[in-house]
Amino acid sequence: MSIVNSLSPRAISAPESGIVEVLNYARGREGLLPLWVGEGDLPSPDFVNDAAMAALAAGETFYTYQRGIPELRQALSDYYARHFGITLPAEHFFVTGSGMQAIQIAVQAMTSPGDELVYLTPAWPNIAAALEIAGARSVGVQLAFDDGKWAIDLDRIAAAITPKTRALFINTPSNPTGWTATRQDLAAILALARKHGLWIMADEIYARYYFPGGRAPSFLDVMEADDKIMFVNSFSKNWSMTGWRVGWIVAPPETGQVLENLIQYSTSGVAQFMQKGAVAALNDGDAFVQANIDKAKLSRDILCDALIATNRVETLKPDGALYAFLKIDGVKDSRKAAIDIVDKTGVGLAPGTAFGPGGELFLRACFLRDPGQIQTAADRLCDYILKL
Ligand SMILES: Cc1ncc(COP(=O)(O)O)c(C=O)c1O
């Protein structure tokens, strides 16, 4: 028996990420335009790096608060007042080692082994994997896809709820589909959660990337103070800080001791000097985030307009998030297609097979990138598609 088989069955059965598989295949090739992962082309801004470096130089290298340093929790509170028009005192905020870890902590907080969590597919694969590793079951409900547009079907969500269901995971705007809940969608989902006594894990990490203007509708707009909602969020996308691995949770203050304990027994808190960088991101980063949003919108238009004009791609321009999710005529196996595309065009796309039921025939392209490079990627992709 191989020693691997003596590891925990849950650990062994965690899937390899289908995005990383294709990335590993062509990583580092010359001239590559990497649109496969969800990040932009800019490094973190100097004012963020400088704040972290100053803290490091000042010796801020000791154990710190599990919930996050008070300054950062206050900066998060101020950020929500500015951008979401809501007063949430600092005790609602918990700093985590990435958005991914925020999800992991929320999963641990909400579910026991054997419990179920309902989520919408196609979906970013990590949520289902995090659940399964924790011993809970992920129950995918497919979004409807019609004429290039994604929509929720509330009846299907209701039908997936069983006595074992503990929570709904709602990612809006969605990675990978760009589906963005309306305020009415959110109110209806909340009503369903209330009726069944469920938690909602709200992943609104792309809320600022909302191209009709302003920010996307949020559960914060429809909820009451006593609703069971935990928001998971991240510094990764807004402030170009994917490599920092810093995120946060917004949760009812009554859950604070439980969340603190879960953080204690995982990372025991995020490095204080990195939290100082995060404070700078929040307090001084509004113009930087706006520039990222403007760039994403321009690049979305360049990429989607070109692809739609081929008449061989079923997609609409997404209202939110950072991805074009493309159904290309003639593509029957998106994993094979992603490999063929990167070989023939040098454009790295993520295969839809990585995003679960309903995504198999699609390819995902992240457009948070210099518009000139996106134009080049669009030209190469259109050329490939028209020859299929
Ligand atoms: C929907 C969604 N949630 C959470 C995350 C996690 O972000 P991170 O772990 O980089 O903070 C991502 C990253 O791609 C995502 O797309």
Residue 316 in this model has a pLDDT that exceeds 80: yes
Of all protein residues, whose CA lies closest to atom 11 belonging to ligand 1? 99
Q: What structural domains and CATH numbers belong to the chain?
A: 4-44+287-386 (3.90.1150.10), 60-285 (3.40.640.10)
CB distance 292 to ligand 1 below 6 Å: no
Average pLDDT score, the chain: 96
Q: What is the pLDDT of residues 32-55, one digit of tens each?
A: 999 999 999 999 999 999 999 999
Residue 85, burial from CB neighbour count under 10 angstroms (0-12, 13-18, 19+):
exposed
> Are residues 92 and 77 in contact, defined by beta-carbon separation less than 8 angstroms?
yes
Q: How far is CA 378 from CA 33, 59, 197, 304, 346, in A?
A: 10, 47, 46, 8, 11
CB distance 171 to ligand 1 below 6 Å: yes
Q: Using the mean position of ligand 1's atoms as its centre, give its distance from the Cα of residue 151 in Å.
A: 21
Exposure pattern of 149-158 as b/e (b: 16+ CB <10 Å)? bbebeeeebe
Residue 1 in this model has a pLDDT that exceeds 80: no
Give the pLDDT score at 147: 85
Of all protein residues, whose CA lies closest to atom 13 belonging to ligand 1? 38
Quote the radius of gyration of the chain (alpha carbons, Å): 21
Residue 16 DSSP label? P
User: 315 falls in which pLDDT band (50, 70, 90)?
Assistant: confident
> Are residues 307 and 381 in contact, defined by beta-carbon separation less than 8 angstroms?
yes
Atom number in ligand 1 closest to CA 234: 11
Q: What is the pLDDT of residues 205-245, one digit of tens each?
A: 999 999 999 999 999 999 999 999 999 999 999 999 999 99
> Are residues 129 and 109 in contact, defined by beta-carbon separation less than 8 angstroms?
no
Mutate which of 107, 126, 171, 248 for ligand 1 pocket (most atoms within 8 A of beta carbon): 126
Residue 126 in this model has a pLDDT that exceeds 80: yes
Q: What is the pLDDT of residues 53-97, one digit of tens each?
A: 999 999 999 999 999 999 999 999 999 999 999 999 999 999 999
Strand partners, 340: none
Q: What is the pLDDT of residues 273-301, one digit of tens each?
A: 999 999 999 999 999 999 999 999 999 99
Q: Using the mean position of ligand 1's atoms as its centre, give its distance from the Cα of residue 131 in Å.
A: 15
> Are residues 324 and 307 in contact, defined by beta-carbon separation less than 8 angstroms?
yes
Q: Using the mean position of ligand 1's atoms as its centre, give its distance from the Cα of residue 100 in Å.
A: 6
Q: Measuring CA to CA, which residue among 118, 94, 81 is closest to residue 251?
A: 94
3-state secondary structure of 230: strand
Please give the torsion angle defined by the CA atoms of residues 30, 34, 39 and 43, in that order, rounded to the nearest 10 degrees. 20
Tokens 């969605």 correspond to what residue?
Answer: 174
Helix (H) or strand (E) holding 158: helix 154-160
Residue 6 in this model has a pLDDT that exceeds 80: yes
Give the pLDDT score at 21: 86
What is the full DSSP assignment across 42-91? SPPPHHHHHHHHHHHHTT--S---SS--HHHHHHHHHHHHHHH-----GG
What is the full DSSP assignment across 254-302? GGHHHHHHHHHTTTSS--HHHHHHHHHHHHH-HHHHHHHHHHHHHHHHH
Q: What is the pLDDT of residues 347-373, one digit of tens each?
A: 999 999 999 999 999 999 999 999 999
Give the pLDDT score at 74: 98
Q: CA–CA separation, 315 vs 55, rounded Å? A: 46
Residue 110 in this model has a pLDDT that exceeds 90: yes
Q: CA–CA separation, 169 vs 357, rounded Å? A: 16
Give the pLDDT score at 17: 82
Q: CA–CA separation, 340 vs 346, rounded Å? A: 9
Give the pLDDT score at 236: 98
CB atoms under 10 Å from CB of 137, counted, come to: 17
3-state secondary structure of 151: strand
In the chain, % of residues over pLDDT 70:
100
- Axis-axis angle for helices 70-84, 272-284 (nearest 10): 30
Q: Measuring CA to CA, which residue among 320, 322, 315, 233 is closest to residue 281?
A: 233
Mutate which of 95, 233, 236 for ligand 1 pocket (most atoms within 8 A of beta carbon): 236
Q: Using the mean position of ligand 1's atoms as its centre, give its distance from the Cα of residue 280 in Å.
A: 21
